[in-house]
Structure 1
Amino acid sequence: MAKKRKSWMNAEELAEEENIVSFHPKDMKNFYAWDGDVLVLNILGTPSAKKDIIGKPKGNQLKISVTAAPIGGRATDYMVKWLAKEFGVNKSDIEVVFGRMNVNKQLRIKAPTKFPRVIEKLEEKTK
């Protein structure tokens, strides 16, 4: 059977092809989940905000506001750069799974060393 082009694959097929565990936002009970040492975050982004801030969870998404304008995915790029500092990782350790040009996003953060207070609280409850 001929191999499918990646551009023609759906999310599940891509995840299987790349050996990535699929975390569909509707299936997640919380705004974050762990895939080994990778933190998977569902985000509700707000571009062009007055200041960069990690807000409160809204359903199964974490509200994050950034000052960058939403032009050609620049707000998401800025968010990734800013979150890298917040989680104590390099920018290259954050992957935008989907939503680069949308307010609904999913990020994968490899081996974060720091956590925002909202995640620290939930992690303390699970221990």
Structure 2
Amino acid sequence: MKPPDLSDLAVPGATLAVRVTPKASRNAVERTDDALRVYVTTVPEGGKATAAVVKLLAKALGVPKSRLELVRGETSRDKVFRVL
């Protein structure tokens, strides 16, 4: 499944609220009214799920992974990313 086009959110300095669902049946990014939902098949161990979220989110935003910075929520399902 192709990720949605979120390139309009890829403004430098923008913050993105993300709700993560680890151990999902598929990898997907969904846009809701108030936040983004990211589903990853990876287990939440040792930052693996967060790395998968960064990869999916970067692809959907059309930016390199290095332009995404995790601001808050390293071990939480609710994360905040900043676009650099």
TM-score, normalisation: structure 2: 0.75
Q: Where does structure 1 lack aligned partners over 5 or more consecutive residues?
A: 1-33, 111-127
Deviation per residue, 1:73-100 (Å, 9 max, x gap): 2101111022112211111100000112
1:40 to 12, 15, 18: 15
- CA radius of gyration, larger in: 1
Cross-structure match for 2:40: 66
Deviation per residue, 1:15-42 (Å, 9 max, x gap): xxxxxxxxxxxxxxxxxxx7x6322110
Q: Where does structure 2 lack aligned partners over 5 or more consecutive residues?
A: 1-8
Task: Count residues in correspondence.
Answer: 75
Q: Could you say what secondary structure the match of 1:38 adopts?
A: coil
TM-score, normalisation: structure 1: 0.52
Identity among equivalent positions (%) equals 35
1:76 aligns with 2:71: no
More helix by proportion, 1 or 2? 1
**RMSD over equivalenced CA pairs, Å:** 1.9
